[in-house]
Structure 1
Amino acid sequence: MTYSNDLATSDKCSPSDDSVTLCIINPKSPQNMGSILRAAGCYRADSVLYTGERYARARAFNTDTKNVGLNIPLAQIDAPMPGPHMSMVAVELVEGATPLPHFEHPKHAYYVFGPEDGSIEQNILDKCQHVVYVPTSGCMNLAATVNVLLYDRLAKSDTTQYGDQIIVASRDTNNRTKV
């Protein structure tokens, strides 16, 4: 079932709150999508969207161990389409892209990631306000790229919380160690 782009184009952006939407182009691996959903929960993304049919067929096999899909909207869309106040940011290994360490994340970001076995199409890249890449030796796994991008956004944010309270709230039930 394909949904409309209502999630992607909703005007829910408030001037004071950041908003993050992840758009994955034609993902194929349920394991990658499960890891992306977990990252979306950890880094407080607002929604995860995907195009294509491959993940829709494999969705039952995802590995979303935290059941983030129950709390963050996950929807299939026809094509990437950010809301009116969102900046579309492609994350892709392409010549001329900005290295992630030098990138300033927009307050309202619509991040677009290519498929595991391909690249973001030129017509989509042409619609993006920004194109960034993670400077590595070789290409990274899709889910790893999403994690690195969202961590970079968190690390550069002036609203990031630090301290024991965030550790206690974030760790799993088997971790009770202290320094």
Structure 2
Amino acid sequence: MYSAVTIGLQNPKTATNVASILRAAGCFGVSSVFYTGQRFRHAKEFHADTKSFHRTIPTVGVDDLSAAIPKGATIVGVELVEGATPLPVFEHPHNAYYMFGPEDGSLDAALVDLCDHVVYIPTANSLNLAATVNVLLYDRMAKRDYDDSVELIRQSRDTNNRLTLR
């Protein structure tokens, strides 16, 4: 959909969240997903990945997210941290590596130090990991030229959805 978009997940807690992230990755044109930690590896069930994007989007376990930084990518940390840029005013880079911390913690300070930008989603409370990834990827798409054709609607909707506006 756009140039290279890669996601890095630091020690994601649940397979359900990662499966939801994979669905978002497939919908918004992410090229690959890297993750660290053992929690997801031990619970690697894709029961929420109903479109089976885990079969087409490389989902790679690594020891350190910094080892997976794509060449030429701008590194963007996504974290509720003082001094971060609110997502609504952030301009997404063309080639981005978005790093997310775990649901029950924060992105490691060493990873934050590597970031070219750190953004946060201004909400009244924290979102879960999958919701955060979905909002960020939607924001990226909404701020760019995107396909608004009837063909895209027909291609994207589920088999049982044939609703039309009168």
Shared fold, TM over 0.5: yes
Find the aligned partners of 2:56 and 2:19 in 1 and give their Cα distance: 14
Listed as ranges, the gaps of 5+ residues in structure 2 are: none
Secondary structure of 1:59's aligned partner: coil
Identity, in percent, stands at: 53
- Which shows bigger deviation, 133-142 or 79-88? 79-88
Match in the other structure for 2:158: 172
Paired residues, number: 162
TM-score using structure 2 length: 0.95
Shift of 1:57: 0.3
Find the aligned partners of 1:60 and 1:167 in 2 and give their Cα distance: 29
4+ runs deviating over 2 angstroms:
none
Matched, 1:83 2:78: no
Question: Residues 9-37 of structure 1: CA distance to partner in whole angstroms, max 9, x if unpaired?
Answer: xxxxxxxx611001110011111011000
1:33 and 1:62 in contact (8 A); partners too: no
Residue 119 of structure 1 is aligned with which of 79, 100, 106?
106
Question: Residues 29-86 of structure 1: CA distance to partner in whole angstroms, max 9, x if unpaired?
Answer: 1110110000000001000110011100000354211100001101101111312200
Shift of 1:143: 0.2
Matched, 1:95 2:74: no
Matched, 1:19 2:4: yes
- AA aligned opposite 1:79: D
After TM superposition, the structure 1 = structure 2 runs for residues 1-179 of structure 1, keeping only pairs within 5 Å, are 18-60=3-45, 62-81=47-66, 82-158=69-145, 160-179=146-165
- AA aligned opposite 1:163: S
Match in the other structure for 1:11: none
Cα RMSD (Å) of the superposition? 1.0
- AA aligned opposite 1:114: G
- Which shows bigger deviation, 100-109 or 73-82? 73-82
Find the aligned partners of 1:83 and 1:149 in 2 and give their Cα distance: 19
